[in-house]
Amino acid sequence: MLTGEYLKKLRMERGLSQTEVAKFADVSQAHVAKIEGGKVDPRLSTVNKILLVLSDRERKSKTCADIMSRVIFVRPDTPVKKIIAIMKTSGFSQLPVIDKGRQIGGISEETLLHNMDRHLERLQAKDIIEETFPLVDARDRVDIILPLLEMHAAVLVACKGKICGIITKSDMLGLKEKK
């Protein structure tokens, strides 16, 4: 989970003051301090603005839509055996779990490995589901993705409010080649 402590760590690594982050993210310095101190739960748009400021990567003109991959998802009642087959054939290491058009969690190869002792052939997605993947807008700049991928296996992309893509570490590694 993305925390104020993590944002503070990123800010310190970049050598920026709270005032500088606040100025560039168009929020107050007091709000940045409250976020870093864990005193407020900021809106995703505020976190995205701060992450954008803290990102020092050279991906300024690309949007999430430019690098996202087609998203493959499973339902809560999908057998784990089928999830493994989907991962093998699609080459994806993580899949969101969607129920009635809403993301309710995710399953990664790591999830499967952590559940190897549980008779996977008898389980469904809902039995091993983990936390949801972060969601960004397709028009957001790619700059915000790297910090999210440091904490999550994938980031989902929304187009007009509906999940339309996924960005993984693999997509980010291919970014230099796609210029």
Instruction: Encode pLDDT of 9-64 as tens digits.
Output: 888 888 888 998 888 888 999 999 999 999 998 988 888 888 888 875 434 568 89
Residue of 76, 95, 99, 77 whose CA lies nearest to 85:
95
User: What predicted TM-score, i.e. pTM, was given to this entire model?
Assistant: 0.64
Domain with CATH 1.10.260.40 in the chain: 1-54
Return the CATH superfamily for domain 1-54.
Answer: lambda repressor-like DNA-binding domains (1.10.260.40)
> What is the per-residue pLDDT for 56?
52
Amino acid at 109: E
pLDDT at residue 175, rounded to an integer? 62
Beta strands in the chain (DSSP E): 94-99, 102-108, 135-137, 154-159, 162-168
Domain 58-179: which CATH number of 3.60.20.10, 3.40.640.10, 3.10.580.10, 3.40.190.10: 3.10.580.10
